[in-house]
Amino acid sequence: MGNNQLTQLSEAKEFIKKETHDFQPESGIILGTGLGQLAEKIDQKYIIHYESIPHFPLSTVESHNGQLIFGHLFGHSVVAMQGRFHYYEGYNLQQITFPVRVLKAIGISRLFISNAAGALNKNHQKGNLMLITDHINLLMDNPLIGPNIEAWGPRFPDMSAPYNLNLNDVFRKTAKQQKIDLHEGVYAAMSGPTLETRAEYRMLAKLGCDAVGMSTVPEVIVANHMGLPCVAISVLTDECDPDNLKPVTINEIINTAIKAERKLVTLFEGVFQAMD
């Protein structure tokens, strides 16, 4: 099994390197639901659709385009995943995180993750941004289950600081300079595709969670396994107050994410400039 995974990774890496003429991205970016404006800011050099990459999963979510974008963003070489994968799509966590391993293999040195999430903390409102400082994995699964490949990372990786402290500080300082209200908190990963019940929201709040979503945690686990520094931002798209809960549709969530993304793009611009 390990040799097969190594072969698959090597084949995907070599294909991408050939298609991009060995373009070397410094940073990887995973774009979440409705978060397409950041991709439009990239000075695009190469675009590769997921279906053409050996062993890559395919995005089945309507709001996810399913392509890798290579280019320059605010003066830095990047590769952006426009479309990610979720447990509820039927993929296992090894498949979901395979692209993160590929991005590391082609040379990225840090990973930026964005997602759309529901606000559990009553001090957070929809349209706000939240820096994820920790998480609770409620997927009841882990992408590292199975034989460990020592070339990728240790059998028992430490998770005392899964979100890179230095990158978190850059986001904090940049948000303060730009007068962007950046909340901080704990993110809970649920499997979906259903949104949570009132009782589940109460449970999550009692567990100390500030936001809930259906992604990010598997990618962060694998990034830590490989020693890849990562940072994650949630765009809060709905308010999950069990005592005042109103039905919400995916279209409403996407529209809120699109409106809030202007702040996210501004924040990313400042962060990338700060890393010069």
All domains of the chain, ordered by start, with CATH?
A: 2-274 (3.40.50.1580)
Residue 92's closest CA among 134, 136, 145? 145
- Strands (E) in 86-201, as ranges, are 110-119, 129-137, 182-189
The pLDDT value recorded for residue 78 is 97
Q: Distance (Å, rounded) from C-alpha 74 to C-alpha 83? A: 21
Please state the length of the chain.
Answer: 276
pLDDT, block means (10 residues), the chain with 276 residues: 84 97 96 82 96 90 78 96 93 96 98 96 96 98 96 97 98 97 98 96 98 98 98 96 91 88 93 89
pTM: 0.95
Half-sphere exposure of 23 (CA within 13 A, CB side): 22
Cβ contacts of 147 within 8 Å, gap of 6 or more: 1, 2
Distance between CA atoms of 83 and 81, rounded to whole angstroms?
Answer: 6
> What pLDDT does 1 receive?
46
pLDDT value at position 276? Answer: 72
**pLDDT for residue 226:** 98
Residue 221's SS3 state is helix
